[in-house]
Structure 1
Amino acid sequence: MSEPVSTAITEVIICITCRPPGASRDLPAAGADLFEAVQMQQLLHEDRWPSVRVRGIACLSSCSRACSVAFQAPGKHTYLFGDLQPDEKTAQHVLACAALHATATDGNMLRNDRPERLRSGILARLPPSLETTTL
């Protein structure tokens, strides 16, 4: 018998202010470039990732590990990755990893199952938040 497939939306959060160490503040942030690349891939192939939403935020506090991306969904593990390249291939891998997260019942993503560019650079894996109960 196979595991049930989750239908929860996975949110991809991309730090749009990420800059590699020593990068000029006069140039656009590498994180903004990655965010744009991910958005472009999602628009070009919107039918591939129906359970994925993408948003950029001003900081993920992983400044020494730019570019950084997080994956989160209700009731699932949250992942934070760093050291990502702001290019088209990484954008494709980010979306493929988000789809993997979306279909995983608990959000767990084994290293060898993740796309190549997200097999390393993991900064954190947080457990699902505890449900609040009213006493």
Structure 2
Amino acid sequence: MTTWITICDTCKRDDWNEAHHSRPHGEDMAELVEQHAQGRDVKTRRVSCLMGCKHGCNVAIQAAGKLTYTLGNFEPGAEAAAAIVDYAEMHAQSDSGQVPFRQWPQGVKGHFITRHPPLPESDES
């Protein structure tokens, strides 16, 4: 299964203002994540709003049949983008999507917001 990094390209951190920023922080983060993901075992896509506005620079790490994670509160920078892609690759290599804490890149620690179980494979519960 392909692990996707879904990046909110409309996120604005608390310090965003029209006078100093020409575009949302999410666009900056999306470009950086896309660059770091090139040639790696993950795919990226952008969406306009993950509804995590209080957490600025949100991403979701997801794949069919696996746990989904939402991460946020990132400064849009190369180190954060690299950590997100590294974590997503570990998610891709995991059967369930769960990555042991001791393996998490330092740059994602403290940035987890939600975890969602995979959807059932059938309509039966």
TM-score normalised to the size of structure 1?
A: 0.84
The answer on 1:14 being equivalent to 2:7 is yes
Match of 2:30 among 19, 35, 44: 35
Aligned length: 122
The 2-side partners of 1:126 and 1:133 are apart by: 18
Q: Is the 8 A contact 1:76 1:106 kept in 2?
A: yes
Q: 1:59-113: per-residue Cα shift (whole Å, max 9, x none)?
A: 0111011111110001000000111121111111111011000001000123221
The 1-side partners of 2:109 and 2:101 are apart by: 5
Q: What is the percentage of aligned positions where both structures have the same residue?
A: 29
The 2-side partners of 1:90 and 1:13 are apart by: 15
Q: Which moved more, 1:77-86 or 1:22-31?
A: 22-31
The 2-side partners of 1:83 and 1:133 are apart by: 35
- When the two chains are superposed, the root-mean-square deviation of aligned CA atoms in Å is 1.4
- The aligned runs of 1:75-90 (5 Å cut-off) are 75-90=65-80
TM-score normalised to the size of structure 2?
A: 0.90
**Local SS of the residue matching 1:125:** strand
Post-superposition offset of 1:130: 0.7
The 2-side partners of 1:18 and 1:75 are apart by: 27
Q: 1:103-125: per-residue Cα shift (whole Å, max 9, x none)?
A: 01000123221111111121101
Structure 1 unaligned residues grouped into runs of 5+: 1-7
The 2-side partners of 1:83 and 1:67 are apart by: 6
